[in-house]
Amino acid sequence: MLKRTKYCGHVCEEDLGKELVLNGWVHRIRNHGGVIFIDLRDREGIVQCVVEEKTNPEVFELADSLRSEYVIALRGTVRRRPPGTENPKLKTGNYEVVIKELEVLNTSETLPFPVDEETHLSEETKLRYRYLDLRRESMRENLLFRHKAYQVARRVFGEEGFVEVETPFLTKSTPEGARDFLVPSRLHPGKFYALPQSPQLFKQILMVAGFDRYFQIVKCLRDEDLRADRQPEFTQIDFEMSFVDEEDVMSFSEKLISTMFKELLGVELKTPFERISYAQALEKYGSDKPDRRFGLELIDLSSIFKNTEFKVFRQALENGGVVKGINFKGSNLSRKEIDELTQFVQSLGAKGLAWIKVEDGKLNSPIVKFFSQEETHALIESTKAESGDVIFFSADKREVVYKVLGNLRLHIGKKYNLIDTKRFDVFWVVDFPLLEWDEEENRFVSLHHPFTSPREEDILLLQEALRVQDLEEKKRLIQSVRARAYDLVINGYEVGGGSIRIHKKELQELVFKLLQISELEAQEKFGFLLEALRFGAPPHGGLAFGFDRLVAIMRGLDSIRDVIAFPKTQKGICPLTGAPDYVEPKQLKELHIKVVE
């Protein structure tokens, strides 16, 4: 076999006059009567190769038998393309290789879809023939970009003195949060390993062990419902640092992200990144990971309607809720469009969507008749309403209003192309509550995870909350406790989240008590961590970036499946391999498992 001396996509000026051996796939072939042009492709790109019948009849005859996607090797000399035949769309567009020797390494049947063009394909087809889908230029470039991102990240960690440590894949189930994937133990019947949702506990243990700067590019697994930006298995850039505070962790994170953007995209991100509080994010955008590349900010109208005759608004306020609105300026929406937006919020669980159109300086809506003159005037002032505007309202509990208007805002932004897709909006969300009340579970739950440290000055509030019997007073105290946590948001996606951890056993036990995790349960789930905290655990904190999501954002893609080599469908299925699948009864017997129909 003729063995490659250079990649197709690397043929350049310095190769002029030189003899090269190229290996690859026939991307396209064109017979121009006595001259055959072959576009040869490998992972680095395409180069044009040419053979003339009169100068090399044997090779010409073999070349004429080639078809798309045949695997070939060739030897040839590089020359400049004749004037006027250059292809500026290719890196190699100024050069061609004159074939002297040609070898067919394998043939190919007709493909189920062309890979030489960006054809729209169903997800099922793309993933069924993923090895062909990955031959397409866009997919190939996505994976090569991902590879480069790995290299930049590892280099930055190395420069800053981090040690790469692999943590276990077969570990203990600690069902706080998403569902675990479970693995039955053959040697210990009835017992199960869990696949890791994150290396959280192990990286904290590494800090206790004295490895004061750890990182890992690691697979994590969660058995959860899937969306475009979710997969059952995903990759994290995970790191932890000792003897640090929030500023240290955030500063390093900014160096890592800004370096990746500069080296991979040529984009200069301004550092330090902007910070907004969790409360500000919800108040202005209805989301703790807002997309700020367009307006439509939420406007609080509660004070305007505190004495209103409009029953829907009044009841919401009397029940401790809020009235908020967004003004879609100059939209001139039709009634049909308003009805479609109403159906959208109803799909989120909202009862309906109150609205007002501004036409010729007047407010037009079924609800306007319930407003006083003062309320109408204040509404116009607060929303800066003008002719052509449409104002949408939500009146309910604060969290319901955030959900309805936050999602409506984003839906309108995407539907009506309001988002500036050419810029990257990168910022931190900080000042999260440590715990929040879960109505369904009737208890407090961690907003991040139970190992997140509260602010030093708020620890007394936690201790007081533990002593208080009245639930409403307990809620008031706990909701005032702030976490030492921070999330990095880019273009409306949370791409990273972390915190300073609890490093003292007494404080960790206090948080467990407030989460209604009993001493027995804490010992069963997290006993090894609690024990480790007794033996000189240093102050420590860290962060984990969702690597798939980060790469997808940098590539301008909506779905993380396009930056993962072999992803699952939205139903968690791999069409390529057929996983998940049934196994032999013998295997189940060895694992002491029976399948119940």
pLDDT in tens, 539-582: 999 999 999 999 999 999 989 999 999 999 988 999 999 999 99
CATH 3.30.930.10 correct for 122-276+422-429+485-503+538-597: yes
Q: Give the CATH H-level superfamily of domain 8-106.
A: Nucleic acid-binding proteins (2.40.50.140)
**The one-letter amino acid at 366:** P
Give per-residue burial for 55-72: e unless 16+ CB within 10 Å, then b: ebeebbebbeebebbbeb
Q: Tell me: the pLDDT tens digits for 72-117?
A: 999 999 999 999 999 999 999 999 999 999 999 999 999 999 998 8
Q: Tell me: the pLDDT tens digits for 248-270?
A: 999 999 999 999 999 999 999 99
How distant, in Å, are the alpha carbons of 110, 125, 231, 547, 573 from that of 130? 16, 8, 16, 21, 13
How distant, in Å, are the alpha carbons of 222, 273, 298, 350 from that of 407? 25, 25, 11, 11
Residue 389 banded pLDDT, cuts 50, 70, 90? very high
Residue among 489, 493, 468 at smallest CA distance from 479: 468
Cα distance between residue 59 and residue 198, in whole Å:
56
Average pLDDT for 147-172: 97
Record the pTM: 0.93
How distant, in Å, are the alpha carbons of 262, 287, 294, 413, 515 from that of 420? 20, 19, 7, 10, 42
Domain with CATH 3.30.1360.30 in the chain: 294-415
Residue 229 predicted with pLDDT over 70: no
Q: Give the CATH H-level superfamily of domain 294-415.
A: GAD-like domain (3.30.1360.30)
Cα distance between residue 51 and residue 60, in whole Å:
6
Q: What is the pLDDT of residue 116?
A: 86
Q: What rounded mean pLDDT belongs to the chain? A: 94
Average pLDDT for 15-19: 98
Q: What is the pLDDT of residue 175?
A: 61
Return all residues near 180 (Cβ < 8 A) that are at least 6 apart: 173, 174, 194, 195, 197, 222, 223
Cα distance between residue 446 and residue 434, in whole Å:
6
Residue 533 banded pLDDT, cuts 50, 70, 90? very high
Domain with CATH 3.30.930.10 in the chain: 122-276+422-429+485-503+538-597
Residue 176 predicted with pLDDT over 80: no
Residue 422 predicted with pLDDT over 70: yes
How many other C-beta atoms lie within 10 A of the C-beta of residue 440? 6
Residue 232 predicted with pLDDT over 90: yes
Higher pLDDT, 225 or 18: 18
Average pLDDT for 448-466: 93
Q: What is the pLDDT of residue 524?
A: 85
Q: What is the pLDDT of residue 178?
A: 79
